[in-house]
Amino acid sequence: MSRLQKAAWFNLAMITICIIISIPCIFFLARENAKGIEYLLTCFVMACLVSPVAYVLLKKKSFETGFDEREKMINRRAFTISALCLIIFLACVCTIPFFVLGGQNVIKVYYLPLIFFCSIFTAQFAHSTAILIQCTLEEEDGQ
Amino acid sequence: MNRSQEHALVWLFLMPLGAAIGGGLLVGLVYVEGPSLRRTLIFTLFAVWTGLFWLWILLQQKKRRKNKVTFDERDEIIHKKAALAGYVGVWLYFVTACVVPWWLVGPQGTVSVNILPIILIGGIIAFSIVQSLAILIQYGRSGKNGENLTQKIE
């Protein structure tokens, strides 16, 4: 298994774990009626602390540093596919409820962060799956 | 000003305007008249035909400039960086668009369903603005003939 494939599996596992943890947290916050600037500041401070630590621990070098030309090409193609999937997902998730419910209806506000987390998951899932499928196809062609 | 800069400048004003007018019209129509399958189909057909019209213009331009070199390595790097900047910009906008309503009305509150297409249209506008600005800034930084960026690439 190449480094790119390992990275794809790792990213897929990490995003799945993050989503599994995040969605119950959103429902918990919704049940507790978490509202106000203090929650927003807490999230901001946590993001400021976690992001640099995660960056230092998980991404010491650039993502593409150890990849050869073929892997770089696969990664770029996967990124394009992921961006396309994200656009299609967002277009569907934003327009379908609008046309189904009609403009004068309302939705619960906690659907918005849920849509956001689902978008992250969709983008990462499409990226990792595209990498794994391309690697498998190329290996089959090589054999 | 080269062709990419001209495109970025046109894109910077035309795309947000088009998205705002088209999206505003759609949201307003569904808000006033309610959802209707016939109108949805008409809107989809209109969007597809408009898309094909732009594609036709692009193909015509490509045919005319078949043998001319208008896009070099430096332009390609600038466009890739600008697209990446636009992608990051959209994510930042999207985080804000999802968190701010929660912060304003609380998780038990409700928001109009109109907010969903408005978020989508806002995303398109944010992407166009960030990408166009990134292109213009990079060309501005690289000097009149792109000497600085070419030196960096070398």
Model ipTM value: 0.73
Predicted local distance difference test score (pLDDT) of residue B65: 66
The answer to whether residue B22 neighbours chain A at the CB level (below 8 Å) is: no
pLDDT > 50? residue A17: yes
Cα-Cα end-to-end distance for chain B: 23
pLDDT tens for A90-126 read: 888 888 888 888 777 888 888 888 888 888 899 999 9
Residue B72 vs residues A6, A137, B2, B79, B116: alpha-carbon distances, Å: 35, 32, 12, 11, 39
The answer to whether residue A23 neighbours chain B at the CB level (below 8 Å) is: no
Residues 6+ apart with CB under 8 A from A58: none
The answer to whether residue B99 neighbours chain A at the CB level (below 8 Å) is: yes
Cα separation of A105 and B142, whole Å?
Answer: 50
Question: Do the Cβ atoms of A30 and B107 come within 8 Å?
Answer: yes
pLDDT tens for A27-77 read: 888 777 777 777 777 777 887 888 788 777 766 566 666 777 888 888 888
CA angle A83, A19, B80 (to 5 degrees): 20
Predicted local distance difference test score (pLDDT) of residue B70: 63
Q: Is the dihedral of CA B61, B66, B72, B76 positive or negative?
A: positive
Nearest chain A residue to B23 by CA: give it: A95
The answer to whether residue A19 neighbours chain B at the CB level (below 8 Å) is: no
**SS3 state at A7:** helix
Predicted local distance difference test score (pLDDT) of residue A61: 60
Contacts 24+ apart (CB under 8 A), B72-80: B73/B153, B74/B142, B74/B146, B74/B149, B74/B150, B74/B153, B75/B4, B77/B149, B77/B153, B78/B4, B78/B135, B78/B138, B78/B139, B78/B142, B78/B149, B79/B4, B79/B135
Task: Assign B74 a pLDDT band (cuts: 50, 70, 90).
Answer: confident
Question: Do the Cβ atoms of A94 and B117 come within 8 Å?
Answer: yes
The answer to whether residue B98 neighbours chain A at the CB level (below 8 Å) is: yes
Structure letter (DSSP) for residue B67: S
pTM (two decimals): 0.73
Question: Do the Cβ atoms of B120 and A30 come within 8 Å?
Answer: no
pLDDT tens for B2-34 read: 777 777 777 777 777 777 777 777 777 777 776
pLDDT tens for B106-134 read: 777 888 888 888 888 888 888 888 988 89
pLDDT > 70? residue B69: no
**SS3 state at A93:** helix
Q: Please identify among residues 48-67 of chain A the ones whose CB lies closer than 8 Å to any CB of chain B.
A: none
Contact status, residue A110 vs residue A26, Cβ threshold 8 Å? yes
Closest CA to B78 of B154, B8, B125, B1: B8
